[in-house]
Structure 1
Amino acid sequence: MSAPHSAAPVTVVIPHYGDPDPTRALVEALLAAPGRSVAAVVVSDDASPEPYPLPAPGEDALRVVRRERNGGFGANVNTGLAEVTTELALVLNSDAEITGEQIDALVAAAAPYQPAVVSPQVVNDDGTPQWSGRHFPTVGHQVVEWLTPLARFRHLPALHEAVGHDVAAARAQAPTPVDWVMGAVLLLPMAQVRAVGGFDEDYFMNSEEVDLQRRLRDAGVPSIVVPSVRVVHGLHGSSDPLRRRSWLVDSRFRYARTFGHPRTLKAALTAATGVNFAVNRIRQARGTDVDAAAVFRAERDLIWKGTHR
């Protein structure tokens, strides 16, 4: 599966944990039709309860590495990236639906901008955007997202901008520079990624890709969305929603401690929690099935844990 000189060779890295079937389906599809760019596929297994199977005889283009403990997304990707010998790596979530032909198109579109972090236009099953391009996080973005009374307006472009989504990038027709791109399908320039130390493994889940791109941006490496390549990402996460939210809040406080203002973030989210409580008290009094006090305690605890990690 060697790539000809006309196409930059790419190693696909798939961080894996849990059910092996989605990862196996993606691996089999890429091995069967790799296109011109895919030189190898690496599956990095983050100590799954059911280990991902080792390559069968003859599957020379596939490598499987198994971690001894579950270290989270960034640590798992770093383990996979350690196996990469090509100049480019493509990090793929196992629920991304992408072909070798699409990878060729992404690599070709990204070539004029390299070294760069590049994402296709990642979309839901119904074709709506997952907001591949985003603005660097601010306290304001996170407060707007925290305010549950605003959820009814989530369909409005103004609210997407207010939570940090780059609406212009979602509407663009040509490759578009953005602050950062989401990590579901992530083309990485390996020399530059290694130069800044790879993913920060102190993040367990969420914000590790924006942290990496912030450090790469400081080193002069841009992030680009390529809208001509559209990739469906299923969002088939199996983790408990409360656990996912806890990971998200923890990661955002960690990011704020590195690049932002953690005390301001804590104060702002605490104030937003008070607003949510007041609105939920009114909704509860009107007969809506919501426990205002329970929601308040849950949000307060998330903030406390985020500031004490």
Structure 2
Amino acid sequence: MSSRKPLVIVTRKLPDPIETRMMELFDVKLNLDDHAFSTTEMIEAVKEADVLVPTVTDRIDARILAQAGPDLKLIANYGAGVDHIDLASARQRGITVTNTPGVLTEDTADMTMALLLAVPRRLIEGVELLQSGDWKGWAPTGMLGTRIWGKRLGIIGMGRIGAAVARRAKAFGLSIHYHNRHRVSQDVEEELEATYWESLDQMLARMDIISVNCPHTPATFHLLSARRLKLLQKHAYIINTSRGEVIDENALIRMLKAEQLGGAGLDVFENEPAVNPKLLELPNVVALPHMGSATREGRNDMGEKVLINIKTFADGHNPPDRVLEDWS
């Protein structure tokens, strides 16, 4: 980039400290009312910007990138997942893509454990029972849930978040199992007392709880297909804080409705922000509005990474969080 301050266009409102610092460092156009960019607005942004700062809610596909101006050299994504960006098209056009990995690990793992506890122990149903005024007091058979201690947890995707979930789950007395593209190191397996399953199908059939912690890529779209969901035991629970597209949502709804699964805790959905109303009608589902990373600390940390990536790139260096085309 030239010696002038790069023009940075931000597609959503970011935390105030991040926007303030961004204004000090760069020439910035902010989204003060936090509306979702239309396709027309996104095209105008890529035509004008030196740096685009999108979020997971923005679709940056090949059609939009085809309209990019010659000055757009960096897409500094505010978030870890980049499945909403056509990485191959960006690379073909000489546009670097960065993300914000690592800073949301603990927050997302906390939310995974919250759902892992809430669904089997029927926490939301308990809250609703009290609020309805229908609770008649303690009873030996009232609000019976499922014990967590001693159950088998199968983690799909043993990256940073998967490992953080495993550490928490181990403290709750769960036995840790995992499926991953690559087996983790022996040291990590020993620390977590984790059992590796090369076959996802075999792992699914033997677990009490499944936690989805892998990214959404072409290889993981509907990884939990209707066929694979049928491998799960009837009492099994599914927790997903990754991406909704990893699960065949319609198949999941059918099985939950037919009581062929114990329940599900979902923080993400296949067609966000639309949520299938059938999911919300099911008593054995706890559904949250994509809150896994929603902490003040996490959002500020994400912004700091965006700032570092832009500043490093503007200074002529490789940004620390550059995303490779084969990201998965």
Indicate whether the TM-score tops 0.5: no
TM value normalised by structure 1: 0.28
TM value normalised by structure 2: 0.27
Question: Larger C-alpha radius of gyration, 1 or 2?
Answer: 2
Higher strand share: 1
